[in-house]
């Protein structure tokens, strides 16, 4: 059965690379990969790309270019993240509470097109803004308003 392999596996910092690969596909099988996340107001952001697995049934986004027709094309290992677009026009992805991560959903569908085929695999990944152990300290001194982030 196909599976999504992420590195780091379950959680990464928002500005760190995320390696995405799909294993267990058929040789040269055509698939659609889709990412989605909801911001803190519940608005949906999505990106999708069309791919073709290699002869071994593996798809590594660092080595396989996206085919034309999705949110992007070409060799873009992080394309499914930077290409996220809002479903609501002119909405922007803004993080207000950096202490909670975004939850990214990844899905692999059979075939290409506006209406992809059956769901083959799915995974979740947290994109955090603070390393574990970092303390957030609000600063209020006279007219100064700031936030101090202290490492462990």
User: What is the residue-level pLDDT of the chain in tens, covering all 152 positions?
Assistant: 999 999 999 999 999 999 999 999 999 999 999 999 999 999 999 999 999 999 999 999 999 999 999 999 999 999 999 999 999 989 999 888 888 999 999 999 999 977 778 999 999 999 999 998 999 999 999 999 999 999 99
Q: What is the dihedral of CA 20, 25, 28, 33, to 10 degrees?
A: -40
Strands 85-86 and 44-52: antiparallel
**Would the pTM of this model clear 0.85, i.e. be above it?**
yes
| Number of independent structural domains in the chain | 1
Contact 27, 57 (CB under 8 A): yes
Question: Domain range spanning residue 46?
Answer: 3-150
CATH number of the domain encompassing residue 50: 2.60.40.2240
Residue found by looking up tokens 């049934």 in the block: 57
């Amino acid at each position: 059965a196909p599976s999504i392999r992420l590195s780091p596996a379950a959680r990464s910092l928002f500005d760190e690379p995320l390696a995405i690969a799909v294993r267990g596909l058929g040789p040269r099988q055509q698939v659609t990969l889709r990412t989605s996340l909801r911001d803190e107001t519940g608005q949906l952001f999505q990106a999708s790309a069309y791919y073709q697995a290699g002869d071994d049934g593996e798809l590594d986004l660092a080595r396989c270019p996206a085919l034309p027709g999705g949110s992007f094309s070409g060799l873009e290992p992080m394309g499914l993240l930077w290409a996220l677009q809002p479903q609501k026009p002119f909405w922007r992805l803004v993080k207000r509470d950096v202490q909670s991560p975004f939850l990214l959903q990844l899905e692999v569908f059979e075939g290409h097109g506006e209406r992809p085929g059956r769901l083959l695999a799915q995974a979740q990944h947290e994109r955090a803004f603070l390393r574990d152990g970092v303390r957030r300290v609000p600063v209020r001194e006279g007219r100064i308003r700031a936030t101090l982030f202290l490492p462990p």
